[in-house]
Structure 1
Amino acid sequence: MLVFGTKRMGAACFAVAIAVALLAGCGQDKPAAVKEASPEQLRQVERLNDTADQMYRYVMEGEIEKARDKLDEIGGKLTEIRFEGMATVEGVSALSESVVQAKRTLQSVRVTREDAQAAAAKIRLATDALTHDHQPMWLQYYKGMKENVHQLGQAIQLRSKQEAAGRLQQLYGRYDMIRPSLLISKQPSDVEKMDSLFTFMRSQLSQPELDPKQAGSGVEHMEQAIDDLFGRHEKAAYAVMVERPLPYTWVFGIGSIIVAVLGFAAWRIFRFERGSFR
């Protein structure tokens, strides 16, 4: 009986060791196969961002000729920078397209101050997204877009197609301003989802009779998509927390509890077996 009790203790200790090993493994970070930008790439992008900031300031001050020169400088820098590990192909393409559109706007004879500022701001936000991964400036557009989509929903419930169309256009204006930045900071599939929702809402508002149920469902999906893009959705935040590895303090705390419980159980078994043997 004593030998059997010793085997029980050995099995319990083995279980403790396995439990602690498993918990320790859960707390380790998984290697991430993510490309990191080189120091030279980071310096080049910083210079690009500084040039975009100067261009934007010139536009705001009405110095269009100086802004054009800076815009040409931005176009030249884009061809010199390797964006591997920093942005997706879609993001770089969107930034390049914004530069081309800004050149057309600033070179137009009938350019307005508002159009010039919008074109410059779009580039400024995109270059900022390249240099600020965690707190880019485009995050400031969340409140305005949420207000627009809420007003859109109210207009649809009132069956006011004209007001709803105006609210949708306002929402798209804000979205279009940060779209290149989103393609740099987010997955292209997330941006494509938002594009599809705008297409769906336009088709709903172009119908002879507005269907509040169908259009309202589209508004709900737009609200959720906006929350996801800006990282404000509770469900998405919960999913990130679940995937995060356990802190080492939790690991060793839980491991200590398991060791104490199994150790106490093993001691009780040993004491019982020893008494029975005697």
Structure 2
Amino acid sequence: METNRWRGCLSLWLGLIIVAVLVMLPVGKAAAHHDAAHTAKMKELDSASEALYRYMQDGDGAKAQLEMDRVVKIVQTLSFQGLTSVEGIHALSETIMDTREALARSQSQPEEWRITSSRLRLAIDSLLHNEQPLWTQYYKLFTDDLSQLSKARTEEDVTGVKQAFNQLKEHYETIRPAAVIQLDPSLISRTDSWMSYMENLCAQKTSDPDALKGALGSGTDLIHDLFGKKRTEPTLLPITGTSNPWKWSLLIGGWIIVALTYTGIRNYNAYQEVRPVTGSKGRSTWRF
């Protein structure tokens, strides 16, 4: 009787396990099917955005409009869960709307087509590719812009400062939606604030060299954070902004020579005071 009871319990447990497997199996198949469909949509969106970018860069409005419609259709059915934040979705939506409006206007504005299509292409790529997105390739352009700004500031070239900042601003506005999709909103807010501050400084008729120097210093660190680069360690750089930098170079060189000479003399005197003494087993010890 006891054996029959155990057999009954065992049969009950096996039945429950089989039912659970049968119930979960369709769910697993449905989830796999959903993932496959989602992946296919992402690939199609990537392809459509790339084609849209190419046609708008070439000025082919008819083909660009077809790809624009395809992009909008895919985005409307795409699940953004796990892809980006609320801020990222908003940035992507704004970029799509700006591109559609630019495309709807006359083809006599190729520069607007170029900028908006680039911005949308980078944004969609950022949404689909977490590792090595295209927008991070703008890092070299940003560092070049900062170098031009620094050079114009040193030379007190007000026009050059404005031109360099306008170039930096255009590059930032191009990658901003893509950066919002991937980065922490607080970092984007800091960058926006810095860009606004720089714009006010560069718009002045007479530049403030000291204020610009401080802003460029903090901006360099901010750009490194924006692109995920390590902040550079402080190094000895040529002194700029002086009437004769060669005097400073010679002075610094003279200080280095004096320091090395002093160190050498001390080492030589110390060596003369040291005498080797042979120990009991032939090992040399040192007496000071």
TM over 0.5: yes
Return the offset for 1:212: 1.0
Return the offset for 1:46: 2.3
Q: Distance in 2 between matches of 1:234 and 1:174?
A: 21
Matched residue of 1:167: which SS?
A: helix
**Residue 227 (structure 2) pairs with residue 201 (structure 1):** no
Which of 218, 223, 235 matches 1:226?
223
Native 8 Å contact 1:78 1:96 kept in 2: no
Q: Distance in 2 between matches of 1:46 and 1:38?
A: 12
Structure 1's unaligned 5+ residue stretches are: 1-36, 237-278
Native 8 Å contact 1:145 1:171 kept in 2: yes
Which of 76, 87, 98 matches 1:101?
98
Which of 195, 210, 215 matches 2:212?
215
- The AA in structure 1 aligned to 2:171 is R
Return the offset for 1:184: 1.0
TM-score, reference length from structure 2: 0.65
In angstroms, what is the RMSD of aligned CA positions? 2.0
**Residue 118 (structure 2) pairs with residue 121 (structure 1):** yes
Corresponding residue for residue 53 of structure 1: 50
Native 8 Å contact 2:83 2:128 kept in 1: no
Q: Distance in 2 between matches of 1:124 and 1:70?
A: 12
Q: Distance in 2 between matches of 1:133 and 1:141?
A: 16
**What is the CA deviation profile of residues 89-145 of structure 1, one whole-angstrom value per residue up to 9, with x for unaligned ones?**
111111111111111111112542232122111111111112211111111111011
Q: Distance in 1 between matches of 2:220 and 2:107?
A: 36
Q: Distance in 2 between matches of 1:197 and 1:161?
A: 19
Native 8 Å contact 1:87 1:185 kept in 2: yes
Q: Distance in 2 between matches of 1:127 and 1:110?
A: 23
Aligned length: 200
Percent identity, please: 28
Which of 58, 75, 78 matches 2:75?
78
Native 8 Å contact 2:61 2:107 kept in 1: no
**What is the CA deviation profile of residues 14-67 of structure 1, one whole-angstrom value per residue up to 9, with x for unaligned ones?**
xxxxxxxxxxxxxxxxxxxxxxx9554443222211110111122233321110
Corresponding residue for residue 69 of structure 1: 66
Q: 1:143 to 1:132 in 2, by over 3 A?
A: same
Greater relative CO, 1 or 2 (CA 8 Å, sep 6+): 1
Q: Distance in 2 between matches of 1:229 and 1:205?
A: 22
Q: 1:87 to 1:39 in 2, by over 3 A?
A: farther
Ranges of 4+ aligned residues in structure 1 off by more than 6 Å: none
**Greater CA radius of gyration, 1 or 2?**
2
- The AA in structure 1 aligned to 2:159 is Q
Q: 1:109 to 1:191 in 2, by over 3 A?
A: same
Corresponding residue for residue 275 of structure 1: none
Q: Distance in 1 between matches of 2:158 and 2:232?
A: 32
Matched residue of 1:86: which SS?
A: coil
Q: Distance in 2 between matches of 1:59 and 1:220?
A: 37
Corresponding residue for residue 188 of structure 1: 185
Which of 62, 68, 84 matches 1:87?
84
Structure 2's unaligned 5+ residue stretches are: 1-33, 234-288
Q: 1:164 to 1:76 in 2, by over 3 A?
A: same
Corresponding residue for residue 133 of structure 1: 130
Q: Distance in 2 between matches of 1:113 and 1:201?
A: 28
Corresponding residue for residue 5 of structure 2: none
